[in-house]
Amino acid sequence: MIRVAVVLLFTLLISNQVLADVYKYVDSEGHVYYTDDPKNSLYKRIIRTRPKSYSKALPFVSVNKKKYADMIAQAAVRHQVDAKLLHAVIQAESAYDATAVSSAGAVGLMQLMPATARRYGVTDRRDPDQNINGGTRYLKDLLRMFDSNLNLAVAAYNAGENAVIRYHNSIPPYPETRNYVKQVLALYNR
């Protein structure tokens, strides 16, 4: 059973057609369960998919980047987060598509989940200004939480802060998260 789950998980990881987030749960007897539809909070997300519109938005990255540059710059100054980092996260998350919606329900430029939006007072995740400000505040909190360690803050933005903490303040061993950190840092360092 576990071999089947591992093969399925590996197939999802290498596929370009991953359509849903994948969650993992290990019960008290060590049984491992994977799902794209967690029924409770015991399941932890291990793979987060990009919105379906990501590849369609790529040709418009430079146009949309210019469109939102002022909003991003204002959020960067307001919340004291490097604008280059915001640009890197937005490009990795949504390719600057303000209408992006992931299969898991993340929305907008910074792909805010409903709970994150509530946490940061975002009432309309589709509004680019609110989305950028909410995502920037979350990223600032993650940087503060992980002592300005960019790798850990970016990993936490992708996998959640609890995943980083659970792995003793290191990047979780999820291939998707490790690739995400590499992608964001490459964009950031350009």
Within the chain, how many helices (H) and strands (E) appear?
9, 3
Helices 175-188 and 150-159 cross at an angle (nearest 10°) of 130
Catalytic residue among 29, 93, 161, 176: 93
Q: Is 93 a catalytic site residue?
A: yes
**Closest by CA position to 111, among listed 53, 37, 183:** 53
Torsion-angle region of residue 35: left (phi > 0), alpha (psi -120 to 50) or beta?
A: beta
Q: Which residues contact 99 (CB under 8 A, 6 or more apart)?
A: 53, 108, 126
In one-letter notation, the amino acid at residue 158 is N
Helix (H) or strand (E) holding 139: helix 128-145
State the DSSP code for 100: -
> What does the block give as tokens for 82?
């490097």
**Closest by CA position to 37, among listed 105, 93, 115, 113:** 105
Please identify every residue annotated as catalytic. 93
